[in-house]
Amino acid sequence: MVKLPKSLKTRRDVENCIAMVEAGTVKATDVLKLLYKIQNQNYINVAINELSDDRKTQTVNYCAEAAEGGAVLGGKVSTVIKSVEHNKGTDTSGNESYVSTTITTAKAITAGSGVLKIEKTPSVYDKYGYTADEFQDIINSLEG
């Protein structure tokens, strides 16, 4: 009996799991769960506090990682950040600090999105020796 690992730590682990699916020793759905876990680690999830009517401008809690040109996912829409503005506020003691970040994206995000996913740099896929597209191709082949 072959056991599926609890987590995938290397490219070789990913390749072994794909081979086990192809050999029929493990279910593709079980391997997909592990791959989705890796995929989710590639993003910083920030709650959207305000969303403009055109859905291209989102205000979130202060997020230092947001940067122009960075990739984001808003619902099912993948887009890039066109501009970032960090907004200051004053606390009850009179101290000024950043309290929110206004992000403008190139495309409107999905209506009703409550979370903006900001892609990490460097990508989590670098650790595994894949590009984001290659990793997505693996997921697509297992979902297929």
Tens digits of per-residue pLDDT, 71-98?
A: 999 999 999 999 999 999 998 889 999 9
| Claim to verify: residue 91 and residue 132 sit in the same structural domain | no
| Claim to verify: residue 37 and residue 64 sit in the same structural domain | no
Q: The CATH number of the domain where 63 resides is what?
A: 2.40.30
| Claim to verify: residue 52 and residue 112 sit in the same structural domain | yes
pLDDT given for residue 92 in this prediction:
85
pLDDT given for residue 79 in this prediction:
97
| Claim to verify: residue 72 and residue 84 sit in the same structural domain | yes
pLDDT given for residue 11 in this prediction:
97
pLDDT given for residue 97 in this prediction:
94
Q: Two tokens at 2?
A: 């072959």
| Claim to verify: residue 73 and residue 133 sit in the same structural domain | no
Low-confidence ranges of the chain (pLDDT < 70): 1-2
Residue 127, C-beta contacts closer than 8 angstroms, at least 6 positions apart? none
Tell me whether residue 2 is in a domain.
Answer: no
Tell me whether residue 80 is in a domain.
Answer: yes
7 by DSSP, 3-state: which? coil
Q: Two tokens at 108?
A: 């409107």
pLDDT given for residue 144 in this prediction:
83
Tell me whether residue 73 is in a domain.
Answer: yes
Residue 128's domain comprises 11-41+124-143
pLDDT given for residue 91 in this prediction:
83
CA distance 98 to 125: 31
3-state class percentages of the chain: helix first, strand second, coil last, to nearest 5: 30, 35, 40
